[in-house]
């Protein structure tokens, strides 16, 4: 499993469909569906391209799903990308848990920036212990779990049941 070899078009299309139907897919959990896609972009594209992808995904989120002021998600995703893009040097593209860890970081930082942007441009948010636990720990964990299940675990399932390969097992060398 290498993040540099994932199909960006397929990832974008699947995340776009999930974003468009986000209220039907996860009405209780407001997942950041574009987060795993943007992490894949970090490992395959340059910094400026990643910023453009982030801005575009934020605009799509603003257009179709956000009741907030137009442009807040675009600004949020772009700032989040600017802050964590270079962390890809610390986590290798071929590690099994890189995508969930980076998705967790993206989600937590994006939530933090969203609170700041809401305070500056919309309405102040009152902080509570429940908000801190749910929005900074539980929801980023669910976003990370989603990215693991959608991009990594599903690859294991499809490779084994459709192609008859077991990705996680290394072939034995014949002596």
pLDDT on residue 159: 58
Q: 154-163 in b/e burial notation, b at 16+ Cβ within 10 A?
A: eeeeeeeeee
Half-sphere exposure of 28 (CA within 13 A, CB side): 3
Contact 48, 36 (CB under 8 A): no
| pLDDT value at 85 more than 80 | yes
Return the domain boundaries, the chain.
3-161
- The residue with greater pLDDT, 90 or 175, is 90
Weakest mean pLDDT among 74-78, 106-110, 130-134, 161-165: 161-165
Maximum separation of any 2 CA atoms in the chain, in Å: 68
Whether the pLDDT of residue 8 is over 80: the answer is yes
Q: How confident is the model at residue 69 (pLDDT cuts 50, 70, 90)?
A: confident
Q: What is the pTM of this model?
A: 0.84
Share of the chain above pLDDT 70, in %: 86
User: What Cα–Cα distance (Å) separates residue 158 from each residue in 6, 25, 64, 166?
Assistant: 14, 22, 31, 10
In the predicted structure, residue 158 carries a pLDDT above the cut 70: no
CB-CB neighbours of 13 under 10 Å: 12
Mean pLDDT of the chain: 85
């Amino acid at each position: 499993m290498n993040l540099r070899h994932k199909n960006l078009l397929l990832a974008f299309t699947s995340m776009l469909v999930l974003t468009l139907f986000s209220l039907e897919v996860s009405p209780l959990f407001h997942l950041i569906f574009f987060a795993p896609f943007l992490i894949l972009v970090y490992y395959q594209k340059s910094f400026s391209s990643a910023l453009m992808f982030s801005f575009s995904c934020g605009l799509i989120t603003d257009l179709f799903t956000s009741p907030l002021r137009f442009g807040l998600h675009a600004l949020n995703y772009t700032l989040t990308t600017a802050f964590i893009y270079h962390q890809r040097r610390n986590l290798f593209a071929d590690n099994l848990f890189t995508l969930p860890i980076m998705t967790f970081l993206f989600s937590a930082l994006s939530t933090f920036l969203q609170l700041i942007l809401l305070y500056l441009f919309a309405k102040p948010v009152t902080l509570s212990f429940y908000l801190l636990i749910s929005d900074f720990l539980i929801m980023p964990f669910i976003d990370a779990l989603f990215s693991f299940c959608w991009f990594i675990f599903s690859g294991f399932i499809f490779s084994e049941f459709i192609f008859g390969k077991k990705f996680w097992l290394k072939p034995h060398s014949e002596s």
